[in-house]
Structure 1
């Protein structure tokens, strides 16, 4: 294969030799001697050399493909074998990207290296054939330029690898932040996330600058090896002509340098400098990965995020809500015990998603006593989820104060006293016991865990999965099953205030009623439910109807008599007694 590649390359290099030699002979033996016919014949020979060289180039591409494709196949076998044997998460990236980079880089490397070697050989032979003194002018700067470029290859490869490592680290960091924006907001880690991402950006910027600085010696190598010979030929022209070099030979030498050596050296520097370093780096990373290299660049899906901090944040987080109306009517405060602070209080709270946006909440006053049970209802997009996000501290009100058990929101004390269960229930990899006990500082006794699961309605699923120690496959669970696990996790939480933001929407009415009754009866617990069924309102002590200026507050029976929006929500719907 290599011999075949060399033969076709030699045929391709024939045009290089004929280009300068034919031009020199056309001038010296033809046009300058007054013989136009001879000059035209030599020019025709040079043109024929171009056609023959083009034929050789076509065959070179086939030979290169025969050389490169087996290498690609071996790399694919290596990546697949490692992926199967070691469960390497980066195997997909290696197959889809890095192997293809290696193949393309190797093909480009073979093409430019082979082209430079045979082009330089054809040009140097042509210079010697025209006049040996020409080699004294062209040869030294050409060798110096190649040597200078060769000296840059190793540090260039190191800088290229440092840049790739920095780029992968930035991609991992950005992927984790993109998937975990809800977690970051829930845990108040915005500054830390920005700082970590900024460190990665600065690292990649420094690596990119270090890599870019090495373009200076590469440019110098091109100037010394390809452009300086042109200047030297022109400066040394009188000296060369005085030593028997003919004008045609001098013109042929300029053609060799400008039309053959300079383009070949330029392709070598750009191709080998970029492709060669990339090939070196990719091959090293494909064949011998360090533990840092094998970290997956993809981030886990929300159903399988493994970290405890993330799971706690997700279990307390809220889904965003689109809003187009604002409750403007203050809600009367419910009667609360005198000595115990209310579980939740909102005083003149207003919130809008932008300076020019219509307020979602406008002067809202609300008090939920310790042990109370409040249900929030209203049209979709009216701001129910925004209200829970404000109570949870995930959003900051534009005006007013929010307190949880007397502690201001946002704040660490208030955050420890509430647990938010969003509509999107998060189940994590690990055992069922690990999932259910994530919000407890210490392991939950198995008896307490099973009792809580039975109370909330998780008991049948707990038995089907094989008990608390059974491992959970989040992808194999239905949306309702994931919600039951999230609800039981929140039930076991030490936080007294539970915020259910449509956290039972995937459960049937009976399962929903059981879960809500469990939270309402939780010792020392207070329950706020964003409901999607009116049956939830029938079970509550108080109902908050969010409808902009027609916001209302009271019991189910009171609102049926006094609130037109609530009457519209209820319609002709009735609640079977067994579901209340």
Structure 2
């Protein structure tokens, strides 16, 4: 639950540095207010030098102007922290919803997604408030303590103990406050669900004469929420007590200790300056902290907890028809598969049996239009067979969990955003893993040209080959055990293509390559030839000897085109057969 917050704070240390520097400027009045008041009185007005007094007040006024500039910049720095935090949480929620979107079973209803999105917005606003108030409290408290030490160190004896006691009392109450706040929110949600159910079934309730029963059910929910509200109110009262102890009792102690301070050499201006520090800076800072953490901090904790709970509920609920399933391994099995693009169209693939063991490296070759991309789509679960079944890791391909396989087509998908976002949106990967993937597929040159992972990508300004490299690195980072490259290297030169395919072969798992060049077949462990009347499966050497079509394709392959033309005598529109 704490990871998203820590990740947001650590994402860019430069933002934290800027936030700290601007916070120093914003806290300038807290540092100067007591000193300026004391000097204006003792050295100025009380000493008969009004110009000196006015000068000190002018210094204080200038500090407020500086603080205004700092406050403006603080808002921008806080936004730079919380907006990426919101995007991370929203991505987490949307990815979870997309993973379950194919199954209209429990936990996938639109209202659940809407509630999660609402929790994301609440968490974003709460984090902004927490960062703002905690930062302000720390810098203000430090400024006040420095100012009091400069003014008269003895006053710290009167100020520090009650201030620490009030702060400690509040911090000790936070865990209980968070639990009570969570209980109240859950009770509120249950009440809303109960009222919604009753409102939607009023006709049925009246027809069944169940008014009293429905009213009693809603009444129980309302009573539970009222009890939760009262329990929350009791804990919330501790906030008022902590503020009284830590914020206002120091002012009372300073007034009560005035004779002692005067005996220690303090003047009237020093006493008023100390009171200004306590009442105008320290007490408001503690008040803001108590209000911010007591409301926004608890709301942040509860919102993150509810988001994580929703994710666990979706992940742990019983599987329903249409749910996405994990695979036992990365192998694929096709049994009597037939597929046609339309009820009256001739099948592109007919009665195909094919076994691709886990860890295999298979290249698929054949003339254009023979069904190679169709086969890739069937194995990836993008297409459903008209007859037969396609299994990946023992699971029907169309019910396979998205994280178990990756299909990269010819036209690679790259979206507008940072390079890092493009590389990691399918996987949670650290910097070291990203570096490894970039080096493996040969993307380092593009990273350097763009200026690093934080560079913004405009897809239209990238070449087709560069977009393919980005997609390849993205696939390399995923945990998928089945990778399907459907001419995904067709825009790369032969050297870059070899590097990428060899990287995926070393990566492990099952690799299926729709071959664009004969070298892809040479690198593969096995080759599947689709010839329009039947399919043949074997090594490169075996197929050269047994398949005239394969020998012809290898001999006639033009590296300047995306596929080979069928030699005379073949029928590229005929159905496929069986693989031995």
TM-score (norm 2): 0.50
Higher Rg of the two aligned structures: 1
TM-score (norm 1): 0.50
